[in-house]
Chain A
Amino acid sequence: DQQVKQNSPSLSVQEGRISILNCDYTNSMFDYFLWYKKYPAEGPTFLISISSIKDKNEDGRFTVFLNKSAKHLSLHIVPSQPGDSAVYFCAAGSSNTGKLIFGQGTTLQVKP
């Protein structure tokens, strides 16, 4: 199932700098998108979401951007902190179904 893709398996950034995680999708029926953060041996933790009627949503250090024409979303973390080091998953859903489709995940490492 390649409907949601995160093409970068890993990303390394310096503490204090911006982290940009990307996600592409193919299904135009998706109308909301979420980012989850996952530590080893834990479940995905919700970070931030965005509806398809918006192009930006911000929550503290986290901002999600949605480009519907390109079927692309990104998560910006600024400033990045070492505690942000984890696997980040984007997920997509549509309002006519409850299931989420996940990307493969991107491992973020923030170096002190």
Chain B
Amino acid sequence: EPEVTQTPSHQVTQMGQEVILRCVPISNHLYFYWYRQILGQKVEFLVSFYNNEISEKSEIFDDQFSVERPDGSNFTLKIRSTKLEDSAMYFCASSVEGLAGMETQYFGPGTRLLVL
């Protein structure tokens, strides 16, 4: 069964460093998403991406964050200058469509980011 994959599974970085989290969405999916879950808190929406541009972003997704689809398979989340509060589990998700309602988003296993 096709699945969303994410690398790395764990990332430890120093505050102020740049990190890039990578995702390979399901191959026939057109909409891509990043969510995060800070320990003990809810899963929160960060950004959605379609047709090589951001469709929607949350208040969390400030200028320190960017997303890119550098080739036909990868979808990346970059944090330019990490802060302690960026420590969280980051989930990538994809769906066939995004605005048709009832579109199931399939999630990857997540990348655990720890900022020291």
| A interface residues with partner B (beta carbon < 8 Å) | 1, 31-32, 34, 36, 41-46, 49, 51, 89, 91, 93-105
Contact = CB atoms under 8 A, between A and B. Distances in A.
Contacts of A31: 101
A42 B107 CA distance: 9
B45 A100 contact: yes
A43 B102 contact: no
A99 B56 contact: yes
Contacts of B43: 44, 89, 91, 102
Interface residues of B, number: 31
Contacts, number: 71
B108 A101 contact: no
Contacts of B108: 43
Interface of B: 4, 6, 31, 33, 35, 41-45, 48, 50, 55-56, 58, 91, 95, 98-110, 112
Contact of A42 (B48, B95, B101, B109): B109
A90 to B, nearest CB: 11
